[in-house]
């Protein structure tokens, strides 16, 4: 979920959104009884920084190690490698 929020924030020009799992709830009759409203968490990185990261992520798929994720006619951005850093892990 964290990586999805990060990718969405970059795609939104640096504006983070509060994630949610349920868009709406339907009654047994098929009418909408509740709808989730998107909630902004604010501008967490500058739009210029988000644009630089987005460009790098686009290049990974276009000509880097993520070329296997290319889809003809669709702009695809990606991140390769790990996003996890364990500083002090005790099992």
Residue-level pLDDT at 83: 64
Name the residue ranges covered by the structural domains of the chain: 2-69
Give the predicted TM-score (pTM) of the model.
0.75
Question: How many residues in total does the chain contain?
Answer: 91
Residue-level pLDDT at 89: 62
Q: What is the mean pLDDT of each run of 10 residues along the chain (91 residues)?
A: 93 97 97 97 98 97 94 93 67 56
Interatomic CA distance for residues 85 and 63, integer angstroms:
26
- Residue 85 backbone phi and psi in degrees, to 5: -130, 115
Residue-level pLDDT at 79: 87
Residue-level pLDDT at 90: 64
**DSSP secondary structure of the chain:** -HHHHHHHHHHTTTEEE---S-SEEE-TTS-EEEEPPP-EEEE-S-HHHHHHHHHHHHHHHHHSTTGGG-BTTB------S-----SS---
Residue-level pLDDT at 81: 76
């Amino acid at each position: 979920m964290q990586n999805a929020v990060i990718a969405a924030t970059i795609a939104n020009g640096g504006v983070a959104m509060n994630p949610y799992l349920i868009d709406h709830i339907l009654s047994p009759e098929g009418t909408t009884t509740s709808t989730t409203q998107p909630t902004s968490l604010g501008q967490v990185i500058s739009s210029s920084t988000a644009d630089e990261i987005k460009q790098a992520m686009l290049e990974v798929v276009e000509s880097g190690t993520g070329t296997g994720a290319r889809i003809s006619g669709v702009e695809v951005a990606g991140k390769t490698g790990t996003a996890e850093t364990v500083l002090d892990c005790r099992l």
